[in-house]
Amino acid sequence: MPYTKVLIHLIWSTKNRIKSIKKDIKPKLLNHILKNAKEKEIYIESINLVEDHIHILISLGRDQTISKVVQLIKGESSNWVNKSFQLRDKFEWQDEYFAVSVSESAVDKVKEYINNQEEHHRVKSFAEEYELFLEKYGFKK
């Protein structure tokens, strides 16, 4: 039996970074994503979202790819939001996403970062955060 543990920090935003995840939707959406992920054997270590984006720390299963996991979470959750809530505009996730591996030694720090999103974004916007991630991990020269 193969044993694998590949930890990935995923981040993506709502379409056009629209602040469409309101406080009444947030807990229900988080619970729904967790439930759906469990059914699809997607192993979520930590998850949080704010009005315009989501952070998820996952442990990839041996037959999973990052793109497939992201596709499953995005597609199913946006469909669920649109069926479950009377929103003024259609809810959508942005096509692009950010994914970076996480070493075992950094797991607690990443989980803390994910859990403290509300506090973090009182100081820094998602656009600023995203640009810093792109630079930090060498996606932007």
Decide if 47 contacts 55 (C-beta within 8 A). yes
pTM of the model: 0.92
**In the predicted model, what is the mean pLDDT of residues 123-140?**
87
Q: What is the CATH number of domain 6-136?
A: 3.30.70.1290
| Cα 33 from Cα 38, distance rounded (Å) | 8
| Burial profile 8-20: b = 16 or more Cβ within 10 angstroms, e = fewer | bbbbbbbeeeeeb
pLDDT tens per residue, range 22-48: 999 999 999 999 999 999 999 999 999
| Cα 50 from Cα 115, distance rounded (Å) | 11
Q: Where are the domains of the chain?
A: 6-136
| Cα 50 from Cα 63, distance rounded (Å) | 30
